Amino acid sequence: MSISVGSLAVSRVIEYDGPLFIPDELLPDLTSERLAAEAGWMTPDFYDPAQKRLVSCVQSYALRTRHHAILVDTCVGNGKTGRRNPLWNGGDWPYLDNLAAAGFRPETIDFVILTHLHVDHVGWNTRLVDGRWVPTFANAKYLIVKREFEYLRHLAATTAQYKQIYEDSIRPILDAGQVVFVENDHEIDDSVKLAPSPGHTPGHVSVHVRSKGTEAVIAGDVLHHPFQRLHPDWNSRACEDGEQARKTRRRLYEASADRDVLVLAGHFAPCRIASTREGFDFRYV
């Protein structure tokens, strides 16, 4: 799927789309009573009652500007191990085929932007070749916010999953000399720049795309599920700084509502945000 942003086209590159999270394991405030009250609008697009799981996708966004081919986030990846979510171990998804269908080959990517360094956003940084993890995007610079990298190194020293992520998805691109450490307001070119959106992780960034007076925000994990349109103050269980995550999410809603701004979330379909009497609504494109 391609979304127009002025003269640019932003493509969703989906790795997985389907039942994924037990509701209160993703959103701790989502009790069974609240889920039952809202199941009507959530079923089947956002909730699978048979499996009792929230429907979620894992995806990247790819675009070409006048100057560069850019990929934002790299999903879970194939053949990875040591992930806490069993669905994310030993993956065998046609991600690269989906990337090619969107018009991008790995060798044509100039920049890989990582909004943050969680397991489902860094996996295709690398792929397994002859028993070694090597950079998937051999000609790309991987842009990582300095603060985010330092935080990952801290987690890797104490947590088994993050140690594994570092070894199979970060260290190989470092060893290849393809990582560029950037500040959280780094500008890639006149159409694409980073903007700080901390809370989910300390160095989390969003990617702002502008062309001919229109705008899109690739928001990473500022929000996780459409239920958060009703409850902007609800965090995912993975948000590191809850209070900051709430502030960042509400700031995104307020800055985007009732404007021609596309919000490209990490785990569901692109939408525009509208303000309502009750709060906010998501209108999908």
Domains and CATH numbers, the chain: 2-284 (3.60.15.10)
**What is the percent of the chain with per-residue pLDDT over 70, rounded to a whole number?**
100
Contact assessment for residue 74 and residue 80, using Cβ atoms and an 8 Å cutoff? no
Residue 278: its pLDDT value, please?
82
Contact assessment for residue 76 and residue 119, using Cβ atoms and an 8 Å cutoff? yes
Q: What is the pTM of this model?
A: 0.97
DSSP secondary structure code for residue 4 in this structure: E
Q: Is the pLDDT of residue 279 over 90?
A: no
How far is 262 from 113, CA to CA, in rounded Å?
18
Q: Over the stretch 62-75, which tens digit does the pLDDT of each residue have?
A: 999 999 999 999 99
Confidence of residue 277 (pLDDT cuts 50, 70, 90): confident
Work out the average pLDDT over 146-163. Answer: 97
Radius of gyration of the chain (CA): 18
Question: Please, what's the b/e burial string for 148-175 (b: 16 or more CB within 10 A of its CB; e: otherwise)?
Answer: bbebbeebbeeeebbebbbebbbbbbee
Confidence of residue 48 (pLDDT cuts 50, 70, 90): very high
Q: Is the pLDDT of residue 1 over 80?
A: no
Residue 244: its pLDDT value, please?
98
Q: Over the stretch 12-24, which tens digit does the pLDDT of each residue have?
A: 999 999 999 999 9
Q: Over the stretch 98-119, which tens digit does the pLDDT of each residue have?
A: 999 999 999 999 999 999 999 9
What φ, ψ does residue 31 adopt, rounded to 5°? Answer: -75, 165
Q: Is the pLDDT of residue 166 over 80?
A: yes
Contact assessment for residue 245 and residue 233, using Cβ atoms and an 8 Å cutoff? no
> Of 236, 237, 234, whose CA–CA distance to 250 is shortest?
234
Mean pLDDT (the chain) is 96
Angle at 268 between CA 107 and CA 8, to 5 degrees: 50
Contact assessment for residue 218 and residue 61, using Cβ atoms and an 8 Å cutoff? yes
